[in-house]
Amino acid sequence: MFAYHVADPSACAAEFNRVWKTVWSYFETKQPQTRKAVAESLVLLTRCITSSIVKDSISDGEAGKSPLRSVISQMTKALDSLAFASAMQELLSVISALVSNLGVRVDPTKSTTATEALLMPLVSKIADLRVQKGFEHKEAADAVLSTAMRVVGPAVLLAAIPLNLEPSDR
Q: What is the CATH number of the domain that holds 113?
A: 1.25.10
> Would you say residue 169 lies in a domain?
no
Task: Give start and end residues of each alpha helix (H) in 47-137.
Answer: 51-60, 67-80, 88-101, 114-118, 120-130
Q: What is the domain extent for residue 145?
A: 2-164
> Would you say residue 38 lies in a domain?
yes
Please give the tally of structural domains in the chain: 1
Which has the closest alpha carbon to 54: 114, 121, 116?
A: 114
SS3 content of the chain, % helix, strand, coil (to 5): 70, 0, 25
> Would you say residue 44 lies in a domain?
yes
> Would you say residue 7 lies in a domain?
yes
Q: What is the full per-residue pLDDT of the chain (170 aa) written as tens digits?
A: 777 777 888 888 888 899 999 999 998 888 999 999 999 999 999 998 888 888 888 887 766 678 899 999 999 999 999 888 899 999 999 999 999 999 887 777 777 888 888 999 999 999 999 888 889 999 999 999 999 999 999 998 988 887 766 666 55
> Would you say residue 18 lies in a domain?
yes
> Would you say residue 170 lies in a domain?
no
What SS3 state is found at 113? Answer: strand
